[in-house]
């Protein structure tokens, strides 16, 4: 935008002369014919780069007008060049400087000198304006930084406070979990004695007094026996679950193929009854807790046999899809082992829920179970810093995928030992 210059002179021809000399430089001029008119203009406008003012004017001369101008804080930055036809002597010149003048130009005006001096002061105004603008930006930036620092400090304080609360909560949860595990173990242990008596005496009734009992009484005894048997399975699973959280057995280098064969040997009766066909591919050698991993496979393979389709022999495939994959440098290598079956499957929307405690997708009458097996599997995988998930569709079988990290340093140490 063109810079504004205020021209003050009581003679119209002088104003016209100044404007004519300077108009080629593209300035915007505002003209006042007296000191009072100049003051009125400056009440509303104060963005002038320069004031060119005649000294000798009626009513208010240039010195008096300058003194009044500089009484206002917003106008103190505007430089004033006095234009005069008289040489007042040094004392009066100093008076002009004291009133705020920055320079003098004597009449008759030298056009080149006037243009040069105006150019210098306009350029100074531009630079000063830029500096003021930069200063304002810096103040704004500093203020924003101060606010940001305050917010960060407040956030840090809140985070520290939350961390303290979190540590307290974690400690409380750990204590509660230990107490819960202890309670589960003790409760399950204490419940076994009365349960054994129920099973023992119901068996005695069923065998010893069979002839004295009618069919309805025998049916009710069978219901008691079945419920007691299921309760015993439930207690056994709860005990196993509570033991896993406190399990501190060291990890040892374990060959998975012989371990899976042990599992199949234990499940031989179920395999024979269902005429199941189980195919086991090459599996890895990993540092694990073999007792827990064996329990994991017992649950997963047992489920694959149990949840088979009616009158369809189970087909189960156990394999590792990345046995020979080279581990990437700096990354934990996971072996993925699949247990795939052709059973009844389940809706994929339940893929996460099935690992919850006591979660069952089928009623007890259809398929026996306690609803703890897959929760045990999940806890075993967490104990090994691994993962378990499932992919399935209804009537299309299910695939359980376990991902176990390669603990090379543990395996190597065990190998050396």
CB 19 within 8 A of CB 32: no
Q: List C-alpha distances in Å: 374 to 10, 16, 23, 246, 293.
A: 102, 99, 91, 18, 13
Distance CA 247, CA 143 (A): 57
pLDDT of 238 higher than 80: no
Which is more confidently placed, 133 or 57?
A: 57
Confidence (pLDDT) at 267: 92
For the chain, give the number of residues. 417
pLDDT by residue (tens digit) across 267-284?
999 999 999 999 999 999
- Compute the average pLDDT of residues 138-148: 84
The model's confidence at residue 53, banded by pLDDT at 50, 70 and 90, is very high
pLDDT of 362 higher than 60: no
Q: Between helices 290-306 and 373-383, what is the axis angle to 10°?
A: 150
Residue 360, token pair as written in the block: 């069952």
Which one-letter DSSP state was computed for residue 355?
G
Residue 401's nearest CA partner among 283, 288, 319 is 319
CB 334 within 8 A of CB 386: yes
The model's confidence at residue 416, banded by pLDDT at 50, 70 and 90, is very low
Q: Please state the separation of Cα 347 from the chain's center in Å.
A: 31
Confidence (pLDDT) at 317: 96
The model's confidence at residue 413, banded by pLDDT at 50, 70 and 90, is very low
Which is more confidently placed, 358 or 229?
A: 229
CB 338 within 8 A of CB 317: yes
Which is more confidently placed, 76 or 278?
A: 278
The model's confidence at residue 417, banded by pLDDT at 50, 70 and 90, is very low
- Compute the average pLDDT of residues 319-327: 79
What lies within 8 Å, CB to CB, of 371 at 6+ separation is 357, 358, 359, 360
* DSSP per position, 77-92: TS-EEEEESS---HHH
pLDDT of 371 higher than 80: no
Confidence (pLDDT) at 39: 93
The model's confidence at residue 1, banded by pLDDT at 50, 70 and 90, is confident
Q: How many CB atoms within 10 Å of residue 229?
A: 14
β-partners of residue 337 are: 320, 402
Chain mean pLDDT for the chain = 81
The angle formed by the CA atoms of residues 176, 178 and 182, to the nearest 5 degrees, is 115
pLDDT by residue (tens digit) across 153-163?
888 888 888 88
What lies within 8 Å, CB to CB, of 34 at 6+ separation is 8, 10, 57, 58, 59, 60
Distance CA 399, CA 340 (A): 4
What lies within 8 Å, CB to CB, of 298 at 6+ separation is 263, 266, 267
- Compute the average pLDDT of residues 133-145: 83
CB 312 within 8 A of CB 341: no
- Compute the average pLDDT of residues 381-394: 90
Query: For the whole model, what pTM was predicted?
Result: 0.48
Dihedral-angle region of residue 324 (phi above 0 means left; psi in -120 to 50 means alpha; beta otherwise): alpha
Q: List C-alpha distances in Å: 312 to 119, 162, 273, 342, 397.
A: 101, 56, 12, 9, 12
- Compute the average pLDDT of residues 358-366: 54
Q: Walk me through the domains of the chain, giving residue ranges and CATH numbers.
A: 4-109 (3.40.50.2300), 149-246 (1.10.287), 249-416 (3.30.565.10)
């Amino acid at each position: 935008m063109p810079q504004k210059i205020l021209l003050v002179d009581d003679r119209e021809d002088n104003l016209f002369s100044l404007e004519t000399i300077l108009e080629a430089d593209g300035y915007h001029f505002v003209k006042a014919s007296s000191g009072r008119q100049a003051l009125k203009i400056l009440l509303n406008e104060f963005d002038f780069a320069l004031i060119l003012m005649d000294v000798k004017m009626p009513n208010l001369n240039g010195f008096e007008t300058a003194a009044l101008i500089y009484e206002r804080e917003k106008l103190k930055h505007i430089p004033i060049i006095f234009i005069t036809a008289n040489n007042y002597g040094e004392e009066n010149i100093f008076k002009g400087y004291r009133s705020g003048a920055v320079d003098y130009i004597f009449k008759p005006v030298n056009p080149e000198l006037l243009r040069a001096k105006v150019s210098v002061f306009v350029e100074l105004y531009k630079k000063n304006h830029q500096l003021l603008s930069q200063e304002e930006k810096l103040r704004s930036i500093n203020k924003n930084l101060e606010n940001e620092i305050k917010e960060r400090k407040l956030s840090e304080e809140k985070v520290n406070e939350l961390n303290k609360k979190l540590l307290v909560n974690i400690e409380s949860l750990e204590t509660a979990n230990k107490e819960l595990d202890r309670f589960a173990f003790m409760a399950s242990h204490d419940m076994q004695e009365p349960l054994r008596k129920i099973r023992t005496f119901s068996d005695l009734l069923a065998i010893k007094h069979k002839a004295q009992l009618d069919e309805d009484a025998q049916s009710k005894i069978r219901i008691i026996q079945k419920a007691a048997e299921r309760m015993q399975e439930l207690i056994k699973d709860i005990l196993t679950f509570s033991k896993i959280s406190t399990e501190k057995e060291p990890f040892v280098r374990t060959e998975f193929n012989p371990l899976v064969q042990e599992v199949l040997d234990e499940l031989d009766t179920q395999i024979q009854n269902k005429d199941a066909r189980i195919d086991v591919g090459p599996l890895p050698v990993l540092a694990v807790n073999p007792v827990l991993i064996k329990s994991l496979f017992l649950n997963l393979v047992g489920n694959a046999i149990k949840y088979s389709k009616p009158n369809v022999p189970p087909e189960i495939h156990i394999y590792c899809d990345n046995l020979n994959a080279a581990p990437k440098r700096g990354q934990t290598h996971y072996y993925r082992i699949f247990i795939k079956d052709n059973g009844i499957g389940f809706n994929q929307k339940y893929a996460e829920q099935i690992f919850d405690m006591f979660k069952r997708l089928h009623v007890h009458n259809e398929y026996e179970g306690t609803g703890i097996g897959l929760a045990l599997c999940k806890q075993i995988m967490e104990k090994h810093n691994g993962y378990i998930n499932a992919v399935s569709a209804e009537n299309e079988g299910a695939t359980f995928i376990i991902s176990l990290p390669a603990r090379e340093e543990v395996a190597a140490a065990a190998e050396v030992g």
